[in-house]
Each structure stands twice: as C-alpha cells, then as structure tokens.
Amino acid sequence: MTRQVIGDRRQANLILALDVDSYIRAKHFVDLLYPKIKIFKVGSMLFTACGPKIIEYIHKKKAEVFLDLKFLDIPNTVANSVAMAGRHQVKMLTLHISGGKQMLAAAVEKAQEESRRLKLKQPLLIGVTVLTSQEAKPQDILKLAKLGLDCGLDGVVCSPQEIKLLRENIPRKFIIVTPGIRPKSPPADDQKRTATAVEAIKAGSDFLVVGRPILEAKDPLAVAAELLENNY
C-alpha cells in the first residue's frame, strides 16, 4: 500500500478541529487561520450542517481535510463510504477499529481500488481506538491499534496517554493522531485523557488535533501561533 508522505512536520502536524455548527463559522476560521494551519478537521456536526461544501472550500484555500466521520457499519457500507470520501480527495479519514477485521479489510481494499481506478491520491485511513471522552485501559488501545495495523490501516487516533505504549510496540511508520491537546493547564472539559502539545510530541505523535482552545480563544490566531512556535 502506498502511503502519503507526512511532509514538513513543523507546519503540517497541527490540525484544527472545525467543531462548529455552520458553514459560515467554519469558513471564518479557515480564512482566519490558513496558512498558519494547513489541515482542518471536518467532523459529523459540521458535515451534517453543510455537507461537502466545506470540503470544497477548504481545498479552494489550498488546505487539506481530515474527514472525521468515524465510519462504523457493515463492511460493504463502510467500504463504499470510504470510496465516496476518497472522491472528495480528503487527506485522511477515520473509521472505528471496533467494526472488526472484515469491515477494516473491506475499507482498505476499496480505498486502494478507487485510488487506482480514478488515479487519485489515496486518503490515509485512520482507525479510532477509544474516544478521549471515555476511560480506557492502555492494553485495550494497543490491541485495537495492532488490529488496525494488521488490517492495513495507515494509523490510529489515540489519546496522549497511550502514545508512548504504541510507539514501543508498533512500527514507526504507523501514524498516530492525537486529540485532547490543550494549552498549558486548561480545564479538560469532557475529554478525560488530555495533554499539552509538548507532551504529545515528545511521546511520538504525528498529528495533533486542537479544537476548543483555539476556537474559543479571544485571539485564535495567537493561540495557534503559540502552539506552532513553542511546541514544534
């Protein structure tokens, strides 16, 4: 399987989670923060609100899209959903590893097939282990990550607390995407397993996902700049 090159880590590994409820608000943050931030996460709330239109706008700005819809369904449905996402030329997308070996294998096969057929760059398939809003045993996260690796996924989403364990037990080329990233010591809100950007990077994360600390800041651009300048 051909993997995408991650590229310039200093500038490319901070992802802004566009956890907003309208196209207008999402567009505002893309306009404000690009090119400081070059990858934007589109989750279920925003995608339900405005559909592929926001993906098209992000691409128009020459930025990239992390489509975080966490696919989980029967293998055929997930495989076809992955194919449709690939046609939107997203950089990466998520699916639940808990969907099992058959679902994951079908998704990987379909992604490869569509990429060859349409001559498009294949999106990175990132497996969701356990949501950061939930408690989890590290060994359970590792087990899910190994299943994703065995099925051909490109990487996993995991909290800062599991990065070191995964790095010690899976190949370095396997990508780790880390949500729950916070500035120095903010309240953890509904995410239980959080950390600072410095901690996550030192542990071995490839992509850091930041949402509310930037979206709710008085000066979002300043917070993004601080994360990039001080923690990379």
pLDDT at 222: 93
Does residue 13 belong to any structural domain of this protein? yes
Does residue 20 belong to any structural domain of this protein? yes
Tens of pLDDT, residues 28-74? 999 999 999 999 999 999 999 999 999 999 999 999 999 999 999 99
Look-up: residue for tokens 């990077």? Answer: 201
**With 60 as the cut, is the pLDDT of residue 230 above it?**
no
Query: In the numeric block, which tokens belong to residue 77?
Result: 């449905």
Summary mean pLDDT of the chain: 89
Tens of pLDDT, residues 141-159? 999 999 999 999 999 999 8
pLDDT at 184: 66
Does residue 162 belong to any structural domain of this protein? yes
pLDDT at 1: 36
Does residue 142 belong to any structural domain of this protein? yes
Catalytic annotation present for 70? yes
Q: Which residues pair with 43 in a beta bridge?
A: 68
Instruction: Considering the candidates 36, 61, 70, 146, report the single residue annotated as catalytic.
Output: 70
Domain assignment of residue 174, given as a range? 9-231
Does residue 141 belong to any structural domain of this protein? yes
Go through 193-227 and write b for each residue having 16 or more CB atoms within 10 A of its CB, e for each that does not. bbbbbebbbebebbbbbbbebbbeeeebeebbebb
**With 80 as the cut, is the pLDDT of residue 167 above it?**
yes
pLDDT at 220: 96
**How many angstroms separate the Cα of 184 from the Cα of each of 137, 222, 227, 231?**
25, 14, 10, 11
Percent of the chain with pLDDT over 90: 75
Number of domains into which the chain is organized:
1
In this structure, what CATH number is given to the domain that contains residue 137? 3.20.20.70
